[in-house]
Amino acid sequence: MTTQNLTRRHRVANLFHGFCFTVAWTGVVILGILLFHVTGEGLHWLDLQFLNDFPSRFPEKAGIRSALFGTLWLISLTATISIPLGVGAAIYLEEYAPKNSFTRFIDLNISNLAGVPSIVYGMLGLVIFVRLFDLDRSVLAGSMTMSLLILPIIIIASRESLRGVPSTLRQAAFALGATRWQTIYSHVLPAALPGILTGFILALSRAIGETAPLIMIGALTYVAFIPEGPMDEFTTLPIQIFNWASRPQKDFHELAAAGILVLLIVLLFMNSFAVYIRHWLERKI
């Protein structure tokens, strides 16, 4: 090989490095443009009146009170339903399940469920919860649908966290005469808690942003009241945003942007909470 050839090879290598470096920041640049655009459109609509009013035909009177409370209801119920089921399933699969073909089947099944489009969960919720259980278009039906949607995420995250707990911890507990459940409850779970909670909050943030399944089960786009119980009808932030964004008027588009800002602030708050919990618990243990 000649020196000339070597120079060319180095030039190609440098070009490729530069190319990858530039392209790698595309995602970040787009994120910046998106946030800048949404803030520019929506910020001047964002005030106390916007947070406190119900939706309206008149843009200047419209607010997201019902959507905000609907989202709070939906998330609290979803959390209550999905965390015991998700963590329970993860504990069974990691700590109890025998290594047989049925366990492998459950395993494969969970990873497939994680890839099912969210709208299909909406169909499931529509037929099972709304029609069969006769829950109608209630917050409860919405929460149950959302719980099924995020269960695979919670199970996968919790299992990874449980797997990270060293088995010497378990053996020490067994050696002192603890039963399997005592071992899990007082030693394994506390050690796995930071990972489980982080996965759980990430799953809930996914649920907060989901729109399609809720439209499927018939969450309403115009709701001028706050749900007072799990059987009440409801709307959520993404549905209200969808409703405003699908209207042709510019004012409503700007309202949608203001709604998006509120949604993003809620998500940011939740994610920083996840980081904080993780930090705090890890230091404690």
Three-class secondary structure of residue 233 per DSSP:
strand
Instruction: Tell me how far apart the alpha carbons of residues 87 and 195 are, in angstroms, rounded to a whole number.
Output: 11
Residue 224 beta carbon to another protein: minimum distance, rounded to whole angstroms: 19
- Residue 227's CB is within 10 A of a number of other CB atoms, namely 21
Alpha carbons within 13 angstroms on the beta-carbon side of residue 233 total: 12
26 vs 284 by CB, closer to another protein: 26
How far apart are CB 284 and another protein at their closest, in Å?
A: 23
Query: CB-wise, 134 or 284, nearer to another protein?
Result: 134
The CA distances from residue 191 to 143, 170, 283, in Å, are: 29, 11, 11
Distances (CA, A) of 158 to 23, 88, 200, 204, 259: 34, 9, 8, 14, 32
For residue 186 the two structure tokens come to: 């007082």
In whole angstroms, the minimum distance from the beta carbon of 94 to another protein comes to 10
Choose between 78 and 118: whose C-beta lies nearer to another protein. 118
Q: Which is nearer to another protein, 52 or 112 (CB)?
A: 112
Considering the complex, what minimum distance in angstroms separates the CB of residue 101 from another protein?
13
